[in-house]
């Protein structure tokens, strides 16, 4: 019986990371660096709860929430772009990538407004440990949003042409994975800075 079942099981497909496997060396290292930064935030929150509470009171939760929704919309667009390429609708995929890039630009703009508001309140990296971490970590994340948007911009023309190159499909999926990483990092940063008290 067991032998019969074993015989009927199809040979296992080789498991493979999405996109170009080597890109995961990049993505995982980035995630480790951010994990260290998250640990730093949590550790300092534990040691300076009143400083964090005071800093958090100056942050605009609606702006943080808008940016969260914007990045999630970007990720949904990227998922739709992947679906479109799988259906050989490369023009559609290219349009979805454009939508994701617009989300990236909106995120940067909202972040600029938010930085302006907290600067207006006199907060800066030297004010206290909360603002040091806020500007340094969200600034690092902002650079990643820039890079993610630029990477989508680089792969978009190739996508529109049908991902014809030998490595184009892997690079396309890798670019989308990077975008998801940027989104995921914000989904941790948002509660750490704006919600957890």
Q: Which of residues 124-153 bind other proteins (CB under 8 A)?
A: 125-126, 129, 132, 136, 140, 143, 147
Q: Does residue 30 touch other proteins according to CB under 8 A?
A: yes
Q: Which of 40, 58, 72, 110 binds other proteins (CB under 8 A)?
A: 40
| Nearest by Cα to 113 from 70, 165, 52 | 70
Q: Which is nearer to other proteins, 84 or 185 (CB)?
A: 185
Q: Which of 37, 84, 175, 177 binds other proteins (CB under 8 A)?
A: 37
Q: Does residue 36 touch other proteins according to CB under 8 A?
A: yes
Total binding residues toward other proteins, as defined by CB under 8 A = 21
Q: How far is the CB of 128 from other proteins (least distance, A)?
A: 10
> From CA 180, how far away is CA 172, in angstroms rounded?
13
Q: Which is nearer to other proteins, 20 or 114 (CB)?
A: 20
CA distances from 105 to 12, 20, 109, 143 (A): 42, 26, 6, 12
Provide the strand spans (E) within 55-144.
none
**In this chain, which stretch among 26-34, 50-58, 66-74, 149-157 interacts with other proteins, using CB under 8 A?**
26-34
CA distances from 25 to 21, 71, 79, 138, 187 (A): 8, 23, 22, 23, 21
Instruction: Tell me the torsion sign for CA atoms 52, 32, 66, 104.
Output: positive
Instruction: Please give the distance of CA 58 from its chain centroid, rounded to a whole number.
Output: 24
Residues that bind other proteins (CB under 8 A): 20-26, 29-30, 33, 36-37, 40, 125-126, 129, 132, 136, 140, 143, 147
């Amino acid at each position: 019986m067991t032998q019969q079942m074993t015989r009927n099981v199809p040979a296992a497909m080789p498991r493979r990371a999405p996109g170009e496997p080597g890109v995961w060396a990049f993505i995982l290292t980035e995630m480790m660096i951010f994990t260290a930064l998250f640990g730093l935030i949590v550790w300092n929150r534990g040691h300076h709860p009143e400083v964090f509470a005071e800093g958090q009171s100056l942050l605009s939760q609606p702006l943080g929430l808008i940016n969260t929704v914007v990045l999630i919309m970007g990720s949904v667009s990227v998922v739709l772009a992947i679906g479109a390429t799988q259906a050989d609708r490369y023009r559609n995929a290219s349009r979805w990538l454009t939508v994701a890039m617009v989300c990236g630009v909106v995120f940067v703009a909202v972040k600029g407004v938010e930085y302006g508001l907290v600067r207006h309140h006199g907060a800066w990296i030297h004010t206290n440990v909360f603002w040091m971490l806020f500007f340094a970590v969200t600034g690092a994340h902002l650079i990643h949003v820039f890079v993610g948007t630029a990477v989508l911009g680089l792969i978009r023309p190739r996508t529109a042409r049908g991902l014809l190159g030998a490595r184009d499909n892997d690079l396309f999926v890798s670019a989308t994975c990077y975008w998801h990483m940027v989104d995921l990092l914000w989904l941790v940063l948002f509660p750490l800075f704006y919600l957890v008290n």
